[in-house]
Amino acid sequence: MAINKTKRPEITNSQRPESKIVEVYDEYNQIKSFQITGELPLTIYINKKEIVTLMTLGHYPESLVIGYLRNQGFVSNLDDIESVQVDWDTNSAAVKIISNLEDFKNKLTHRVVTSGCGQGTTFGGIWDDLKDKNLKTDKLKQSSIYKILKLLHDKNEIYRQSGAVHGCAICDENNIIDFIEDVGRHNAVDAIAGNMWLNSINSRNKIFYTTGRLTSEMVIKVAQMDISYLISRSGITEMGLNVAKETGVTLIGRAKGRHFLAYNGHENIIYDKKPEPRPDGSSDVWKRR
């Protein structure tokens, strides 16, 4: 008896590196080399029709595209896909399928923005509005960073009770002005942005904190809010760093206790409370975390 084998589509092999090396400044204002996660927008086209833009590491882009189409119900069988061609020069994935796009009208007109990460569809339009932004701010004391981190330590109430949430906060140098938790950090930052409008909170010299990683979407949201400082206990992505450099956001990651890394804008920090020097021969704290 003949065995039916699924026909494999023609696909490229456009794997990108998982990370790249950049120069950062630690809590001693000392420069060091550190790895950051790659991130690029990848716009999917099906039969030449634009479908969505995904923010991705780019390590397995063809698999990402095929999996996205499968999980979103665009294809029901691998045989429906003739080819997937990823081109990082244009940040695009051209997909050719057998089915007619007329079958997908409902899917294309009724979209739900989830609380997940990396599947935004408005990257291009928003970025166009931010290209000329150059945020200005007063300098921030290192001691103020430590004070904020200490105040935030007692937050994350929902996370402590049930987990599965991210927390975001808007702060000044002495206080937490607003703190919100949600299942997605993007939801939390949007809620804080709404509260800032509703309560006439000025963004001048404010600091934004998030528990999540600093992707391009997070940096864009903070720049849209005209906030100059963005702090996270997590790491950052390549695109997040690029957006921060373009908009003037001072980007501080891996902030916990008395340690942090300034990925962008270290000159805006007053290093007034450097920790005691590490003992000779001790391993780098970042290699231990």
pLDDT score recorded for residue 113: 45
pLDDT score recorded for residue 53: 85
Read off the CATH number of the domain in which 98 is found. 3.10.20.10
Q: For residues 142 and 274, what is the distance between their CA atoms, to the nearest angstrom?
A: 8
Higher-scoring residue by pLDDT: 28, 161: 28
* Residues forming beta bridges with residue 259, ordered by sequence position: 256
218: left (phi over 0), alpha (psi -120 to 50) or beta: alpha
Specify if 5 maps to a domain.
no
Read off the CATH number of the domain in which 201 is found. 3.40.140.10
Q: For residues 134 and 82, what is the distance between their CA atoms, to the nearest angstrom?
A: 45
267 and 163 inside one domain: yes
Of the candidates 226, 231, 227, 228, the one whose C-alpha atom is nearest the C-alpha of residue 213 is 231
Specify if 144 maps to a domain.
yes
Q: What is the pLDDT of residues 203-220, one digit of tens each?
A: 999 999 998 889 888 898
> Which H or E run includes 280?
none
Specify if 76 maps to a domain.
yes
Query: Of 95, 130, 165, which residue is a domain's last?
Result: 130
92 and 195 inside one domain: no
Strands 140-141 and 19-26, bridge-based pairing: unpaired
Query: Which domain, by its residues, includes 149?
Result: 140-288
Q: Calculate the average pLDDT of the chain.
A: 83
Residue 140, amino acid: L
86: left (phi over 0), alpha (psi -120 to 50) or beta: beta
Of the candidates 134, 148, 140, the one whose C-alpha atom is nearest the C-alpha of residue 267 is 140
Interval 186-209 mean pLDDT? 87
147 and 117 inside one domain: no
270 and 149 inside one domain: yes
User: Is 70 exceeded by the pLDDT of residue 40?
Assistant: yes
- Residues in the chain, how many? 289
105 and 174 inside one domain: no
Please enumerate, as own/partner, the contacts of 58-62 that have beta carbons within 8 Å and a separation of 24 or more: 58/14, 58/15, 58/16, 58/88, 59/15, 59/16, 59/17, 59/18, 60/15, 61/14, 61/15, 61/16, 61/86, 61/93, 62/11, 62/12, 62/13, 62/14, 62/86, 62/93
How many structural domains compose the chain? 2
125 and 209 inside one domain: no
241 and 162 inside one domain: yes
pLDDT score recorded for residue 177: 95
Query: What number of CA atoms fall less than 13 Å from residue 233's CA on the CB side?
Result: 18
Q: What is the pLDDT of residues 64-96, one digit of tens each?
A: 889 888 767 788 788 889 999 999 999 999 999
Helix, strand, coil percentages, rounded to 5, for the chain = 30, 30, 40
75 and 103 inside one domain: yes
User: Is 50 exceeded by the pLDDT of residue 241?
Assistant: yes
pLDDT score recorded for residue 107: 62
DSSP 24-47: EEETTS-EEEEEEE--EEEEEEET
Specify if 135 maps to a domain.
no
Specify if 282 maps to a domain.
yes
145 and 265 inside one domain: yes
271 and 173 inside one domain: yes
Output the six-digit token pair for 266.
Answer: 């270290």
99 and 117 inside one domain: yes
pLDDT score recorded for residue 183: 67
162 and 282 inside one domain: yes
Asked if 196 and 225 touch (Cβ cutoff 8 Å), the reply is yes
